[in-house]
Structure 1
Amino acid sequence: MQSHDEYHDDRPLGRSIGRGLRCRCPACGKGRILHSYLKVRDTCPACGEDLSHQRADDGPAYLTILIVGHLAIPMMAAYFIAFRPGPWEMIWIFGIGSMVLSAVLLPLMKGMLVGIQWSRRMHGFGEGEIVHD
Protein backbone atom coordinates (compact mmCIF):
# COMPACT_ATOMS: atom_id res chain seq x y z
CA MET A 1 0.00 0.00 0.00
CA GLN A 2 1.25 3.49 -0.82
CA SER A 3 2.01 5.85 1.99
CA HIS A 4 0.58 9.36 2.06
CA ASP A 5 3.96 10.84 1.00
CA GLU A 6 4.35 8.44 -1.93
CA TYR A 7 0.84 9.30 -3.10
CA HIS A 8 1.73 13.01 -3.36
CA ASP A 9 5.24 12.54 -4.83
CA ASP A 10 3.87 12.48 -8.38
CA ARG A 11 2.45 15.99 -7.82
CA PRO A 12 5.17 17.94 -5.98
CA LEU A 13 3.77 20.90 -4.08
CA GLY A 14 6.67 23.27 -4.81
CA ARG A 15 6.52 22.68 -8.56
CA SER A 16 2.74 23.11 -8.55
CA ILE A 17 2.99 26.38 -6.61
CA GLY A 18 5.67 27.68 -9.00
CA ARG A 19 3.60 26.83 -12.05
CA GLY A 20 0.53 28.36 -10.43
CA LEU A 21 2.39 31.60 -9.68
CA ARG A 22 3.21 31.79 -13.39
CA CYS A 23 -0.49 31.13 -14.13
CA ARG A 24 0.44 27.92 -15.95
CA CYS A 25 -1.17 24.51 -15.78
CA PRO A 26 -0.01 22.70 -12.62
CA ALA A 27 0.15 19.40 -14.55
CA CYS A 28 2.21 20.34 -17.62
CA GLY A 29 3.45 23.87 -16.92
CA LYS A 30 2.72 24.95 -20.50
CA GLY A 31 -0.92 25.96 -20.86
CA ARG A 32 -2.26 29.19 -19.39
CA ILE A 33 -4.91 28.47 -16.76
CA LEU A 34 -6.53 31.93 -16.77
CA HIS A 35 -8.44 32.96 -19.89
CA SER A 36 -9.24 36.42 -18.64
CA TYR A 37 -8.10 38.37 -15.63
CA LEU A 38 -9.36 35.87 -13.02
CA LYS A 39 -11.38 33.22 -14.88
CA VAL A 40 -9.90 29.73 -14.71
CA ARG A 41 -10.21 27.61 -17.85
CA ASP A 42 -12.16 24.37 -17.54
CA THR A 43 -9.30 22.44 -19.15
CA CYS A 44 -5.66 23.13 -19.92
CA PRO A 45 -5.25 24.10 -23.60
CA ALA A 46 -1.90 22.26 -23.78
CA CYS A 47 -2.45 18.93 -21.99
CA GLY A 48 -6.22 18.76 -21.45
CA GLU A 49 -6.00 18.53 -17.63
CA ASP A 50 -9.43 19.12 -16.09
CA LEU A 51 -9.22 22.34 -14.05
CA SER A 52 -12.95 22.70 -13.44
CA HIS A 53 -12.56 21.29 -9.92
CA GLN A 54 -10.75 24.39 -8.62
CA ARG A 55 -12.36 26.28 -5.75
CA ALA A 56 -10.07 29.27 -5.27
CA ASP A 57 -13.04 31.62 -4.55
CA ASP A 58 -12.03 34.23 -1.91
CA GLY A 59 -8.64 32.76 -1.01
CA PRO A 60 -6.63 34.79 -3.55
CA ALA A 61 -8.18 38.05 -2.34
CA TYR A 62 -7.34 37.29 1.29
CA LEU A 63 -3.74 36.38 0.43
CA THR A 64 -3.37 39.49 -1.72
CA ILE A 65 -4.65 41.74 1.07
CA LEU A 66 -2.31 40.04 3.53
CA ILE A 67 0.75 40.53 1.30
CA VAL A 68 -0.07 44.09 0.20
CA GLY A 69 -0.84 45.13 3.77
CA HIS A 70 2.42 43.70 5.08
CA LEU A 71 4.36 45.52 2.38
CA ALA A 72 2.49 48.84 2.32
CA ILE A 73 2.23 49.60 6.05
CA PRO A 74 5.98 49.47 6.85
CA MET A 75 6.75 51.38 3.65
CA MET A 76 4.19 54.04 4.58
CA ALA A 77 5.72 54.41 8.04
CA ALA A 78 9.27 54.64 6.67
CA TYR A 79 8.25 57.14 3.98
CA PHE A 80 6.41 59.28 6.51
CA ILE A 81 9.32 59.31 8.96
CA ALA A 82 11.87 60.09 6.23
CA PHE A 83 10.00 62.78 4.26
CA ARG A 84 7.05 64.00 6.39
CA PRO A 85 4.68 64.25 3.40
CA GLY A 86 1.20 65.69 3.57
CA PRO A 87 -1.85 63.44 3.86
CA TRP A 88 -2.84 63.81 0.19
CA GLU A 89 0.63 62.82 -0.96
CA MET A 90 0.45 59.69 1.21
CA ILE A 91 -3.02 58.86 -0.12
CA TRP A 92 -1.97 59.25 -3.75
CA ILE A 93 1.33 57.39 -3.51
CA PHE A 94 0.25 54.49 -1.33
CA GLY A 95 -3.34 54.29 -2.53
CA ILE A 96 -2.34 53.93 -6.16
CA GLY A 97 0.65 51.75 -5.27
CA SER A 98 -1.51 49.39 -3.23
CA MET A 99 -4.11 49.14 -6.00
CA VAL A 100 -1.49 48.38 -8.65
CA LEU A 101 0.24 45.80 -6.46
CA SER A 102 -3.11 44.17 -5.68
CA ALA A 103 -4.02 44.03 -9.37
CA VAL A 104 -0.70 42.34 -10.16
CA LEU A 105 -0.79 39.86 -7.26
CA LEU A 106 -4.42 38.74 -7.48
CA PRO A 107 -4.11 36.49 -10.58
CA LEU A 108 -0.81 35.10 -9.27
CA MET A 109 -2.45 34.13 -5.98
CA LYS A 110 -5.34 32.53 -7.86
CA GLY A 111 -2.95 30.48 -9.96
CA MET A 112 -1.00 29.47 -6.86
CA LEU A 113 -4.14 28.26 -5.07
CA VAL A 114 -5.23 26.26 -8.12
CA GLY A 115 -1.76 24.68 -8.16
CA ILE A 116 -1.99 23.79 -4.46
CA GLN A 117 -5.44 22.29 -4.90
CA TRP A 118 -4.28 20.23 -7.88
CA SER A 119 -1.14 19.04 -6.06
CA ARG A 120 -3.05 17.95 -2.96
CA ARG A 121 -5.93 16.46 -5.02
CA MET A 122 -8.46 18.73 -3.35
CA HIS A 123 -12.06 19.28 -4.50
CA GLY A 124 -12.09 16.46 -7.05
CA PHE A 125 -8.63 16.86 -8.58
CA GLY A 126 -7.38 13.31 -8.99
CA GLU A 127 -10.80 11.64 -9.05
CA GLY A 128 -10.80 8.51 -11.11
CA GLU A 129 -7.07 7.91 -10.67
CA ILE A 130 -6.08 4.37 -9.91
CA VAL A 131 -3.93 4.07 -6.80
CA HIS A 132 -1.99 0.81 -6.81
CA ASP A 133 -1.58 -1.00 -3.51
Structure 2
Amino acid sequence: MSKPISLPKTLPSALWRGTLCRCPRCGDGKLFRKWLKPVDRCSVCDLDITGQRADDLPAYIGIFVSGHLLAPVIITLVVSYSLSPMALLAIIIPLALVMLIALLQPSKGAVIALQWWNGMHGFKRERANGENP
Protein backbone atom coordinates (compact mmCIF):
# COMPACT_ATOMS: atom_id res chain seq x y z
CA MET A 1 0.00 0.00 0.00
CA SER A 2 1.47 3.37 -0.97
CA LYS A 3 1.57 6.21 1.49
CA PRO A 4 -0.76 9.19 0.87
CA ILE A 5 0.59 12.24 -0.94
CA SER A 6 1.51 15.08 1.39
CA LEU A 7 0.60 18.23 -0.55
CA PRO A 8 2.38 21.42 0.55
CA LYS A 9 0.23 23.73 2.65
CA THR A 10 1.78 27.01 1.48
CA LEU A 11 3.47 28.48 -1.56
CA PRO A 12 6.83 28.80 0.26
CA SER A 13 6.78 25.09 1.14
CA ALA A 14 6.06 24.20 -2.51
CA LEU A 15 8.86 26.52 -3.65
CA TRP A 16 11.22 24.96 -1.12
CA ARG A 17 10.46 21.49 -2.49
CA GLY A 18 11.23 22.75 -6.00
CA THR A 19 14.41 24.46 -4.82
CA LEU A 20 15.55 21.14 -3.35
CA CYS A 21 14.91 19.62 -6.81
CA ARG A 22 12.07 17.48 -5.50
CA CYS A 23 8.56 17.10 -6.86
CA PRO A 24 6.52 20.12 -5.71
CA ARG A 25 3.43 17.95 -5.21
CA CYS A 26 4.74 15.10 -3.04
CA GLY A 27 8.21 16.31 -2.07
CA ASP A 28 9.69 12.84 -2.52
CA GLY A 29 10.24 12.25 -6.24
CA LYS A 30 13.22 13.62 -8.13
CA LEU A 31 12.39 16.64 -10.30
CA PHE A 32 15.33 16.34 -12.73
CA ARG A 33 16.68 13.39 -14.71
CA LYS A 34 19.67 15.40 -15.95
CA TRP A 35 21.12 18.68 -14.74
CA LEU A 36 18.40 20.96 -16.21
CA LYS A 37 16.14 18.34 -17.85
CA PRO A 38 13.02 17.65 -15.76
CA VAL A 39 11.56 14.19 -15.55
CA ASP A 40 8.39 13.56 -17.53
CA ARG A 41 6.50 12.18 -14.52
CA CYS A 42 7.19 12.05 -10.81
CA SER A 43 8.20 8.50 -9.87
CA VAL A 44 6.31 8.76 -6.56
CA CYS A 45 3.02 10.62 -7.18
CA ASP A 46 2.87 10.35 -11.01
CA LEU A 47 2.60 14.15 -11.50
CA ASP A 48 2.92 14.98 -15.21
CA ILE A 49 5.72 17.57 -15.45
CA THR A 50 5.96 17.70 -19.25
CA GLY A 51 3.88 20.89 -19.45
CA GLN A 52 6.28 23.06 -17.43
CA ARG A 53 7.64 26.14 -19.16
CA ALA A 54 10.49 27.59 -17.09
CA ASP A 55 12.18 29.12 -20.18
CA ASP A 56 14.64 31.89 -19.20
CA LEU A 57 13.29 32.80 -15.76
CA PRO A 58 15.73 30.53 -13.83
CA ALA A 59 18.69 32.24 -15.53
CA TYR A 60 17.29 35.68 -14.66
CA ILE A 61 16.80 34.60 -11.06
CA GLY A 62 20.37 33.26 -10.93
CA ILE A 63 21.80 36.47 -12.37
CA PHE A 64 19.76 38.60 -9.96
CA VAL A 65 20.76 36.60 -6.87
CA SER A 66 24.41 36.24 -7.92
CA GLY A 67 24.69 39.95 -8.60
CA HIS A 68 23.24 40.88 -5.24
CA LEU A 69 25.44 38.42 -3.37
CA LEU A 70 28.57 39.46 -5.26
CA ALA A 71 28.05 43.22 -4.85
CA PRO A 72 29.34 43.36 -1.24
CA VAL A 73 32.23 41.04 -2.15
CA ILE A 74 33.25 43.30 -5.03
CA ILE A 75 32.95 46.42 -2.87
CA THR A 76 35.03 44.82 -0.11
CA LEU A 77 37.73 43.70 -2.56
CA VAL A 78 37.97 47.16 -4.12
CA VAL A 79 37.90 49.15 -0.88
CA SER A 80 39.94 46.93 1.44
CA TYR A 81 42.61 45.52 -0.87
CA SER A 82 44.80 47.15 -3.45
CA LEU A 83 44.32 44.61 -6.21
CA SER A 84 44.96 45.24 -9.86
CA PRO A 85 41.97 45.18 -12.23
CA MET A 86 43.19 41.84 -13.64
CA ALA A 87 43.41 40.32 -10.14
CA LEU A 88 39.87 41.52 -9.40
CA LEU A 89 38.60 39.96 -12.64
CA ALA A 90 40.48 36.73 -11.86
CA ILE A 91 38.57 36.51 -8.57
CA ILE A 92 35.14 37.86 -9.55
CA ILE A 93 34.50 36.16 -12.90
CA PRO A 94 35.09 32.55 -11.74
CA LEU A 95 33.13 33.23 -8.55
CA ALA A 96 30.22 34.67 -10.54
CA LEU A 97 30.21 31.72 -12.96
CA VAL A 98 30.24 29.14 -10.16
CA MET A 99 27.44 30.92 -8.31
CA LEU A 100 25.29 31.25 -11.42
CA ILE A 101 25.75 27.61 -12.43
CA ALA A 102 25.01 26.47 -8.87
CA LEU A 103 21.78 28.50 -8.78
CA LEU A 104 20.33 27.38 -12.12
CA GLN A 105 18.90 23.99 -11.13
CA PRO A 106 17.36 25.13 -7.80
CA SER A 107 15.91 28.19 -9.57
CA LYS A 108 14.36 26.03 -12.28
CA GLY A 109 12.92 23.71 -9.64
CA ALA A 110 11.35 26.69 -7.85
CA VAL A 111 9.88 28.01 -11.11
CA ILE A 112 8.36 24.60 -11.86
CA ALA A 113 6.95 24.50 -8.32
CA LEU A 114 5.46 27.99 -8.80
CA GLN A 115 3.79 26.86 -12.01
CA TRP A 116 2.40 23.76 -10.30
CA TRP A 117 1.12 25.77 -7.31
CA ASN A 118 -0.74 28.19 -9.57
CA GLY A 119 -2.04 25.52 -11.96
CA MET A 120 -0.19 26.95 -14.94
CA HIS A 121 0.83 25.21 -18.21
CA GLY A 122 -1.33 22.11 -17.81
CA PHE A 123 -0.74 21.55 -14.10
CA LYS A 124 -3.85 20.91 -12.00
CA ARG A 125 -4.12 23.35 -9.09
CA GLU A 126 -4.19 21.31 -5.88
CA ARG A 127 -4.34 22.37 -2.25
CA ALA A 128 -3.73 20.43 0.95
CA ASN A 129 -6.97 21.66 2.55
CA GLY A 130 -9.05 20.25 -0.30
CA GLU A 131 -9.86 23.68 -1.73
CA ASN A 132 -9.30 23.12 -5.44
CA PRO A 133 -10.83 25.75 -7.72
Q: Which runs of 5+ in 1 are unaligned?
A: 1-8
Q: Deviations over 1:2-34 (max 9, x none)?
A: xxxxxxx97631111010010000011011111
Aligned to 2:22: 24
Q: Which runs of 5+ in 2 are unaligned?
A: 1-6, 126-130
Counterpart Cα distance in 2 of 1:117 and 1:44: 15
Aligned to 1:96: 94
Paired residues of 2:30 and 2:42 also in contact (CA < 8 A) = yes
Which of the pair is proportionally richer in helix? 1
Residues 33-72 of structure 1: matches in 2 within 5 Å? 33-72=31-70
Counterpart Cα distance in 1 of 2:104 and 2:78: 27
| TM-score under structure 2 length normalisation | 0.84
Counterpart Cα distance in 1 of 2:82 and 2:44: 52
The percent of aligned pairs where both chains have the same amino acid is 34
Counterpart Cα distance in 2 of 1:132 and 1:94: 47
Count how many residue pairs are aligned between Structure 1 and Structure 2.
122
Paired residues of 1:19 and 1:115 also in contact (CA < 8 A) = yes
Counterpart Cα distance in 1 of 2:34 and 2:84: 38
After TM superposition, the runs of 4+ consecutive aligned structure 1 residues lying more than 4 A away are none
Alignment-mate amino acid for residue 81 of structure 2: F
Q: CA RMSD in A?
A: 2.0
Counterpart Cα distance in 2 of 1:36 and 1:102: 17
Query: 1 or 2 for the larger relative contact order (CA 8 Å, sep ≥6)?
Result: 1
